[in-house]
Structure 1
Amino acid sequence: MKKLNQGIIGFFHKQPYTIVTTIDRDGSPHNSCKGIVDIEEKGLVYLLDVYKEKTYANLKENQNISITAVDEHKFMGYCLKGAASIVKEEDLHSRTIKSWEGKLTKRISERLLKNLKGEKGHPRHPEASLPKPEYLIAVEVKEIIDLTPHHIRHGDKKDT
């Protein structure tokens, strides 16, 4: 596993969702939005998957996965590549379950506040109707790719 520094952990915790890519049995990529439940410094990431459809089926056949998030305002992002496994609810630590419940409550609260302020958004609260997760996806990070453009990451120095 590849250790994650606090900057990367903090970056992913601030993202409302990530893009997760898995590979189907024909070798084609499948992308879906997933929420991060928890991230451990040792390089373990827990993702929520409530629908048990293509991502789940793909991971049963092929454990390769990538997790990508970008911050368009800071013009930065990361892609974490690794190996995934399915962890059933009864095998999860209570801390991980509480982390998901806390994030769900926060998302519903933020949506309510936006609606009260008259900001555009979904008129209902889809998070409140999500099915209870039966499992999480645990990802052992093997590679970290910094998506921040080189000239931003290293200042405006020109390559010579």
Structure 2
Amino acid sequence: MIKPDIVEFFHNQRFTVISTIDKKGHPHNSCKGIVQIDESGKVYLLDLYMAGTYENLKANPNISITAVDEHKFIGYCLKGKASIVQKNKVSKSILKLWEDKVTSRISHRLLKNMKGEKGHQTHPEALLPAPTYLIVADIEEIVDLVPGHIKRKA
């Protein structure tokens, strides 16, 4: 089980860094969005391209999911085992959550552009392919990334 404050922390992040191991034993990092974290601690991640992360997880299920808030100087790394779940096996409620997140990201980007905070020239989220599978991670360990000397002062 993942504590509610950690679940909320991950849901408030725009993206997370996912680490897997490639066939040569080297780390592979990729940015992914969290679709959902359920009560049992399963983390649902969308991966659209069937590239490095997908291939790595087919051969080695070990995964870590990391996010930090540099302003608050907090972060967590979730470690566990992941599996690939085809779209036809994913609940409609999870797929709806993904659609809602994409809509939210596009709206956020549009508002920033209207305020003159230009980012990317296009809206990459609108160009994403439709999902065909989801990564589902069963979390086995949670690492608090706040350095010990800072935790002791708090």
Q: Following TM superposition, by how much is the alpha carbon of 1:13 offset from its aligned partner in structure 2, in angstroms?
A: 0.2
In the other structure, the counterpart of 1:143 is: 141
TM-score (norm: length of structure 1): 0.94
RMSD, matched Cα = 0.9
1:63-78 alignment, distance < 5 Å: 63-78=61-76
Residue among 100, 104, 114 paired with 1:116: 114
Structure 2 counterpart of 1:95: 93
Structure 1 unaligned residues grouped into runs of 5+: none
With the length of structure 2 as denominator, give the TM-score of the two structures.
0.97
- Looking at structure 2, the residues matched to 152 and 38 of structure 1 have their Cα atoms a distance apart, in angstroms, of 30
Give the paired residue count. Answer: 154
- Name the SS of the counterpart of 1:98 in structure 2: helix
Q: For residues 15-64 of structure 1, give each alpha carbon's deviation from its aligned partner in whole angstroms, at most 9, with x where no partner exists.
A: 00000000011111100000100001211000010011010000010000
Q: How far apart, in 2, do the equivalents of 1:21 and 1:55 lie?
A: 8
Please, which runs of 5 or more residues in structure 2 have no aligned partner? none
1:133 equivalent to 2:131? Answer yes
Kindly report structure 1 stretches of 4+ aligned residues shifted beyond 4 Å: none
Q: Distance in 1 between matches of 2:118 and 2:95?
A: 30
2:43 aligned residue: 45
CA contact (8 A) 1:18 1:35 kept: yes
Query: For residues 41-93 of structure 1, what are the alpha-carbon distances to aligned partners after superposition, in whole Å with 9 as ceiling and x for unaligned?
Result: 21100001001101000001000000000000000000000000001111011
8 A contact 1:115–1:123 mirrored in 2: no
Please say if residues 9 and 41 of structure 1, whose CA atoms lie closer than 8 Å, have aligned partners that are also in contact.
no
Structure 1 residue identity aligned to 2:15: Y
